[in-house]
Amino acid sequence: MRNIFAEALYKAATTNPDIFVVVADISPAGSMADFSRQYPDRFINVGVAEQSMIGICAGLALKGCQPFAYTIASFSLYRPFEFVRDDLGYQNLPVTVVGMGAGVIYSTLGGTHHTQEDIAVAGAIPNMQIIAPCDPLEVEEAVKYCAEQKNGPIYLRLGKSGEPELTKQAIEPWQFGRLRYLFRGTDICILSYGVVMKHANEVAKILLKEGKSVSLVSAHTLKPLDRENIENILSNHKKVIVIEEHAPEGGLSSRTKQIAWDIHAGCELHCFTLKDAFIHRYGGHDDLLAAHGISVKDILREIR
Amino acid sequence: MRPLADTYDPKAAALRCLNFRKRILEISQQVGALHIGSAFSCAEIVECIYYGLMRYSGEVNTLVDTFIMSKGHGCMIQYVILEAMGILTKTDMEEYCTPHGRLGCHPDYGNPGIEASTGSLGHGLPMAVGMAIAEKRKKDPGVIYAVLSDGEIQEGSTWEAIMMASSLEINNLVVFIDNNDFQSLGRTSETHPSFYPVDQKLSAFGWETVEMPGHDSLNIYRTIDARSGKKPMAAICKTTKGKGISFMENVPIWHYRSPNTKEYEIALDELRAAHPGVDF
């Protein structure tokens, strides 16, 4: 994802001279190197100084620029949280805070590098928009939106590298603020976002093979959440499954449950999230997800 | 682009500062929510920025330079200056901190003349650096002026921005440190002796620095006007918290307290006595 992110941002920056990239000693490789060579004045490395990364982005935006703040998610959002809230949220500035390697992708680096509650944290800030693309193609679309919009700040939640393309055949286009069906069925709907969509996709494919009629939906925009279409999903399917790489509170699961209660939904609702716990486990990304109880096997066992 | 007046007249500046202090005292009788001591501490600095240093492309509301009150709690001095310039209205000031008003104890971005929301310390300088970078893209970049408190440069984010400003060779940034030596729990020089000397720390980071009295308008003007323009500049201004009113000077309670009617009258008498011949 980060390479596609860099490529898409480089593309946007060649036509939009207001785009700045402000990084905190972490930079996506690939096209970002071209960007920094070609536009050295618009690529700023503040060093390991995340508070000023956000403050400088705010200052740039106050003067009409379109900045992107980039580093690992725990350092772009948690470390300078009050700057994100005051400088970007309170002043409602069009700055994109890129959280790279969100969730538990940094599976060998431990809890200091995990963002299990980032959507809850970012989503609690008024004016904040949240986008979590599920594959490189959605990253491309999301960057296009972030590079042009003037609505306010965005938390762009990214994975890392090697994510498969899952939306090439999607039956609906990417549109900010709108859920999109990747494919559509009538019985079961799987709702997910971000890198863990790979699990959602796998579960869906297995259920399809078993002859079930399955929808797979990307909820790439977490804020504002497409409430209307979540209501439709809850009304039009017998079983709805939410899979997310996020703590139980403040993410898609809790919001979906809330909406289900509000509309007296009659469907079954299963939610799979990270645990509300620091688990002190290592291994690959899938190992961490499994340790949190959201492996494909776990999911299938629970929903059958 | 030019300053408001062709020459910066210290007598006119003194008269303006007198009127600003008087106006702030007046407002203190409307509502008990303002930081008088902090505003009086930087009155001469902010006056000099608006009336001497900043450039305008036309009249008063066409600033090409930018001012950020990083020590947001001292913003009453900025408000009364913006009122005097006609950028804020008399009604704005009458409705200060009331349910009908738009002005509060800290500057809010979006209000006339307010370029950034401050109030939480340590935010102004990073934003000022970002603004300075954006301005540098112009052929004739605007200068960013910021006033910080001494307590504020205990914030790590301020030092992050200090490091970046010089590393990025920003030369259109002038920072005033309102060094009144007071913060909530006491004298900075007593609670944090290692804080001083401040100017050497900034010089070591590659800034052009100067230490100067913070209530001498003409000296402030001349010193900043003569800056090299090659580096970011910091002026450490030795000031007195509550300057101008004897019972407020260096008395921590006046960080936030508003005078009662009797204290208000005494304060006005003191200002009158200090400016003989001025029509009050």
Contact A110, A283 (CB under 8 A): no
Residue A114 has pLDDT above 80, yes or no: yes
- For B108, nearest residue in chain A (alpha carbons): A91
Residues above pLDDT 70, as percent of chain B: 100
Smallest CA–CA distance from A53 into chain B, residue: B126
pLDDT band at B146 (very low <50, low <70, confident <90, very high): very high
Q: How confident is the model at residue B5 (pLDDT cuts 50, 70, 90)?
A: confident
Q: Which residue of B has its CA nearest to A57?
A: B130
Note whether B161 contacts A56, CB cutoff 8 Å. yes
Secondary structure letter of residue B169 according to DSSP? T
pLDDT at B230 over 80: yes
Residue whose entry in the numeric block shows the structure tokens 């941002």: A9
Residue B61 — pLDDT band, cuts 50, 70, 90? confident
Q: Does B164 touch chain A (CB under 8 A)?
A: yes
CB spacing of B126 vs A52 below 8 angstroms? yes
Residue B104, class by beta-carbon neighbours within 10 Å (0-12 exposed, 13-18 middle, 19+ buried)?
A: middle
Q: What is the pLDDT of residue B88?
A: 97
Which residue range(s) make up the domain with B37?
10-274
| Res. A304: pLDDT tops 90 | no
Contact B130 A62 (CB under 8 A): yes
Within its chain, how far is the Cα of B248 from the centroid? 18
* C-beta atoms of A59 and B156 within 8 A: no
Distance from CA of B198 to the nearest CA of A (A): 20
The distance from CA A189 to its chain's CA centroid, rounded to whole angstroms, is 20
B122 close to A (CB below 8 A): yes
Does any domain span residue B120? Answer: yes
Strand runs (DSSP E) across B120-268, as ranges? 144-149, 173-179, 182-183, 186-187, 208-213, 233-238
Assign residue B74 the CATH number of its domain: 3.40.50.970
Q: Which positions 23-42 of A are in contact with B (Cβ < 8 Å)? A: 41
pLDDT, tens digit, 9 for 90 and up, residues A84-96: 999 999 999 999 9
The band of B142, judged by pLDDT with boundaries at 50, 70 and 90, is very high
Q: Does A225 reach chain B within 8 Å, measured CB to CB? A: no
Query: Average pLDDT of A44-66?
Result: 98
CB distance from B84 to chain A under 8 Å?
no
Query: Residues A89, A49: contact at Cβ < 8 Å?
Result: no
Number of domains in chain B: 1
CB contact under 8 A, B157 and A52: yes
> What pLDDT, on the 0 to 100 scale, is given for residue A282?
97
Model pLDDT, residue B256? 86
Q: Is residue B73 part of a domain?
A: yes
Cα angle for residues A219, A220, A223 (degrees, 5° grid) = 90
Of A47, A59, A64, the CB nearest to B129: A59
Domains of chain A: 2-157 (3.40.50.970), 180-303 (3.40.50.920)
pLDDT in tens, B105-127: 999 999 999 999 999 999 999 99
- List the strands of the sheet with B173-179, edge to edge: B66-69, B144-149, B173-179, B233-238, B208-213
Which has the closest alpha carbon to A39: A79, A76, A78, A10?
A10
The nearest alpha carbon in chain A to B117 belongs to: A91
DSSP B57: S
Q: Give the mean pLDDT of A174-178.
A: 98
Cβ within 8 Å of B, A 89-148:
90-91
Q: Can you give the pLDDT at residue B279?
A: 82
Distance from CA of B80 to the nearest CA of A (A): 23
Give chain B positions within 8 Å (CB) of A49: 160, 163-164
Cα(B1)–Cα(B237) distance, integer angstroms: 27
| Interface mutation target, options A25, A48, A52, chain B, most CBs of B under 10 Å | A52
In a domain, B114, yes or no: yes
Per DSSP, B142 falls in state P
Q: Best of B114, B143, B152, B164 to disrupt the A interface by mutation (most A CBs within 10 Å)?
A: B164
Question: Does the pLDDT at position B4 exceed 90?
Answer: no
Q: Does A154 touch chain B (CB under 8 A)?
A: no
More confident residue, B122 or B183: B122
The pLDDT assigned to A82 comes to 98
Element (H, E) at B67: strand B66-69
Contact A59 B133 (CB under 8 A): yes
| Confidence band, pLDDT 50/70/90 cuts, at residue A97 | very high
**What pLDDT shows up at residue B32?**
83
Q: Taking CB atoms and an 8 Å limit, are A55 and B157 in contact across chains?
A: yes
* B3 found inside a domain: no
- Cβ atoms B83, B92 nearer than 8 A: yes
Q: Which two tokens stand for residue A283?
A: 């291994």
Question: How far apart are the CA of A61 and the nearest CA of chain B, in angstroms?
Answer: 8
Q: Is B36 part of a structural domain of the chain? A: yes
Angle made by CA atoms B63, B68, B74, in degrees to the nearest 5: 120
Angle at A12 between CA B166 and CA A83, to 5 degrees: 45
Q: Give the mean pLDDT of chain B.
A: 95
Using the predicted structure, report yes or no on whether residue B150 has a pLDDT greater than 80: yes
The span from the CA of B24 to the CA of B132, in Å, is 31
* pLDDT band (50, 70, 90) for residue A27: confident
pLDDT score recorded for residue B28: 95
Contact between chains at B131 and A82 (C-beta distance less than 8 A): no
Residues of B in contact with A82 (CB under 8 A): 120
Other CB atoms within 10 Å distance of the CB of residue B57: 9
Span B210-225, pLDDT tens digits: 999 999 999 999 999 9
**Is the predicted pLDDT of residue B255 greater than 90, yes or no?**
no
Question: What secondary structure, in 3-state letters, does chain A show?
Answer: CHHHHHHHHHHHHHHCCCEEEEECCCCCCCHHHHHHHHCHHHEEECCCCHHHHHHHHHHHHHCCCEEEEEEEHHHHHHCCHHHHHHHHHHCCCCCEEEEECCECCCCCCCHHHCECCHHHHHHCCCCCEEECCCCHHHHHHHHHHHHHCCCCCEEEECCCCCCCCCCCCCCCCCCCCCCEEEECCCCEEEEECCCCHHHHHHHHHHHHHCCCCEEEEECCEEECCCHHHHHHHHHHCCEEEEECCCCCCCCHHHHHHHHHHHCCCCCEEEEECCCCCCCCCCCCHHHHHHHCCCCHHHHHHHHC
Among A47, A55, A82, the residue with its CB nearest the CB of B130 is A55
Mean pLDDT of A96-103: 97
Residue A286 · residue A193 · CB < 8 Å: no
Evaluate whether residue B5 is within a structural domain.
Answer: no
Average pLDDT of the residues in B24-29: 96
A227-234 mean pLDDT: 98
What's chain A's average pLDDT? 97
| Mean pLDDT along residues A38-65 | 97
pLDDT tens string A125-170? 999 999 999 999 999 999 999 999 999 999 999 999 999 999 999 9
Q: Do the Cβ atoms of A49 and B160 come within 8 Å?
A: yes
Please determine, for residue B280, whether its predicted confidence score (pLDDT) is greater than 80.
no
